[in-house]
């Protein structure tokens, strides 16, 4: 046998931006202005230079490999510079959700031990309030640059005053790169620590033709926030192929996003369903079109069939996905060009992700196709242990997602509910997700949710909560009548609660914890 060897090329995330700076130096990263009337833009080469100066700024403050730096910011050029500056030097980027209460953010920082908090200028008051609340050690607050920054006080000013490069890399690819806490919609938030190797492999999986399949010819806009599971990995994937990256900043309303898509020629955009509801409501209201937009990537929450149909009618492909913070986050995706499918379908897993269905006790189902079961997952980008926990989050290498799912004969997965959301009525189980899918497909329905309310006779009974489109006249009888013949008669709720606005968790999912708190009392 002839002995040989391959180069030990560490899979660290700094190499993604290095690649973009060398081979796509002038491809732009665009950030929408806060007033929605303009934009800032920078090439990948300049962005890399500025990110390396971020590393120097942090090193001057004693930050080194393994230290944690928190960010509290929107999707922007400056946030991206901070991201790569933190990760490139081997520190850990702890992304914080600005929509969470200051007390919860302080708790997270105390858990991570972050010594520096980098924040958008418009979040200055929140950042300082959070820093003062941290029990262990108050982190230093540094404001990002951009149009809201105060002269002499921003990270951009510190970058401008810094001279020289910073040598990235030189650490193990299994080193921690990021920390993100789960949304806490079903319990207390848990910290998920990402590694360079896991996120690098996740990027390669995301770029596969049957997953995201972006190229240097695409213009990609992640509306999903960078603080929400790494914006689904798009800030890594776009530099890796030299795709133009469009950052919406604070903008999230339909009109502003539609204007940005049109102005920058966005071809692929990603976000939760509520984002696209706002965009397509705006398009319908104004009679405008988005000719450049070819594909909308949807995840984070179930996509109502009615919304999927509205998007498809405009010739825009809908790409449904499924994932979790614990999966870095992508688990499955509908392949581009696969053709129309039920909006409840979440696609198939790519190589690097393995799925299985089990019964309630965790025993694998003998038949894995055309059967419903509890969904477990394993792979190189799947959590093994939560941050600060000694016990593993897996059983024999498999992670229990808490989801119920069905895998059809073609390998497409459909998330059929959350095991914690099941309603037990008269000793039998009711799956709210099946009812919600039917109700949400009605033209006048914006969003729907089904929760269980305590019942002295049956234990629990389902209650339907619904948000209708403005001026819609659908009656309660018509809403419930849509369920006749499609679910068991005893599944049908006897009560409908109409909401002017469905409460959403900070990540855009329906906040069932709040709904249960408000409407579950008998």
Residues taking part in catalysis: 182, 326, 424, 429
DSSP string, 429-462: EE-HHHHHHHHHTSTTEEEEEEEEEEETTTEEEE
Q: What angle do CA 254, 291, 508 make, to 5 degrees?
A: 30
- Longest CA pairwise span in the chain (Å): 77
- Neighbouring residues of 295: CB distance < 8 A, sequence distance ≥ 6: 267, 268, 269, 316, 317, 318, 319, 336
Cα gap 348→239, rounded to integer Å? 25
- Joined together, the tokens standing for residue 197 give 């190797």
The answer to whether residues 257 and 223 touch, using CB atoms and an 8 Å cutoff, is yes
State how far the Cα of 351 lies from the Cα of 334, in Å rounded to an integer: 14
Shortest CA distance to 342 belongs to which of 289, 307, 305, 298? 305
Cα–Cα–Cα angle for 407, 409, 413, nearest 5°? 25
**Please, how many CA atoms are within 13 Å of residue 123, restricted to the half-sphere of its CB?**
28
Tokens 């189902």 sit on residue: 365
**In the structure encoding, which two tokens stand for residue 26, read together?**
């002038």
Evaluate the CA torsion angle 466, 449, 105, 192 in order and state its sign.
negative
Half-sphere exposure (Cβ direction) of 397: Cα atoms closer than 13 Å: 7
Q: Are 273 and 306 in contact (CB under 8 A)?
A: no
Is 241 exposed, middle or buried (CB count within 10 Å of its CB: 0-12, 13-18, 19+)? buried
Euclidean distance between CA atoms 233 and 474, whole angstroms? 40
Q: Which of 351, 413, 428 is nearest to 376 (CA)?
A: 413
Contact 179, 325 (CB under 8 A): no
Distances (CA, A) of 331 to 163, 205, 339: 42, 10, 20
Closest CA to 509 of 181, 184, 190: 184
In order of 46, 81, 434, the CA distances from 159 in angstroms are: 12, 10, 52
| CA 29 from centroid of its chain's CA atoms | 20
CA 162 to chain centroid, in Å, comes to 33
CA dihedral 152, 157, 160, 164 (to 10 degrees): 110
CB 351 within 8 A of CB 407: no
């Amino acid at each position: 046998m002839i002995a040989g060897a391959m180069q030990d090329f560490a899979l660290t995330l700094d190499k993604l931006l290095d690649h973009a700076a060398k081979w796509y130096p002038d491809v732009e990263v665009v950030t929408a202005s806060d007033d929605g009337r303009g934009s800032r833009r920078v090439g990948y080469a300049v962005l890399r230079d500025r990110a390396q100066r971020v590393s120097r700024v942090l090193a001057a403050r004693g930050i080194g490999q393994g230290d944690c730096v928190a960010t509290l910011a929107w999707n922007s050029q400056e946030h991206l510079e901070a991201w790569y500056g933190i990760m490139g030097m081997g520190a850990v980027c702890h992304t914080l959700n600005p929509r969470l209460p200051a007390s919860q953010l302080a708790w997270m920082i105390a858990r991570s031990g972050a010594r520096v908090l980098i924040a958008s200028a418009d979040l200055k008051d929140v950042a300082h309030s959070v820093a003062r609340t941290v029990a262990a050690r108050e982190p230093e607050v540094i404001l990002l640059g951009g149009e809201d920054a105060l002269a002499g006080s921003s990270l951009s000013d510190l970058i401008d005053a810094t001279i020289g490069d910073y040598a990235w890399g030189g650490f193990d690819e299994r080193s921690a790169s990021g920390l993100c806490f789960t949304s806490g919609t079903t319990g207390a938030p848990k910290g998920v620590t990402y590694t360079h190797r896991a996120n690098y492999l996740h990027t390669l999986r995301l770029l596969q033709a049957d997953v995201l399949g972006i190229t240097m010819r695409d213009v990609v806009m992640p509306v999903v926030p960078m603080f929400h599971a790494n914006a689904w990995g798009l800030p890594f994937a776009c530099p890796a192929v030299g795709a133009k990256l469009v950052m919406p900043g604070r903008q999230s309303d339909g009109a502003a996003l539609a204007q940005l898509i049109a102005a920058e020629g966005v071809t692929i955009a990603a976000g939760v369903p509520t984002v696209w509801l706002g965009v397509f409501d705006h398009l319908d209201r104004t009679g405008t079109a988005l000719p450049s937009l070819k594909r909308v990537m949807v995840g984070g929450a179930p996509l109502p069939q009615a919304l999927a149909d509205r998007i498809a009618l405009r010739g825009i492909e809908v790409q449904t996905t499924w994932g979790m913070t614990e999966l870095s986050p992508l688990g499955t995706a509908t392949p581009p060009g696969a053709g129309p499918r039920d909006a409840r379908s979440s696609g198939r897993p790519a190589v690097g992700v393995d799925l299985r269905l089990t019964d309630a006790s965790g025993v694998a189902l003998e038949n894995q196709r055309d059967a419903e079961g509890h969904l477990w997952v394993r792979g190189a980008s799947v959590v093994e242990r939560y941050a600060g926990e000694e016990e593993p989050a897996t059983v024999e290498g498999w992670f229990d997602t808490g989801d119920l799912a069905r895998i059809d004969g073609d390998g497409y997965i459909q998330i059929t509910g959350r095991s914690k959301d099941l309603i037990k009525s008269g000793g039998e189980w009711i799956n709210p997700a099946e009812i919600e899918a039917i109700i949400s497909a009605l033209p006048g329905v914006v969003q729907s949710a089904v929760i269980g309310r305590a019942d002295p006779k049956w234990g629990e009974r389902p209650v339907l909560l619904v948000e209708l489109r403005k001026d819609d006249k659908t009656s309660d009888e018509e809403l419930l009548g849509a369920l006749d013949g499609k679910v068991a008669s005893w599944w049908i709720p006897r009560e409908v609660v109409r909401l002017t606005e469905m409460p959403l968790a900070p990540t855009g999912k329906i906040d069932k914890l709040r709904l249960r708190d408000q409407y579950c009392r008998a």
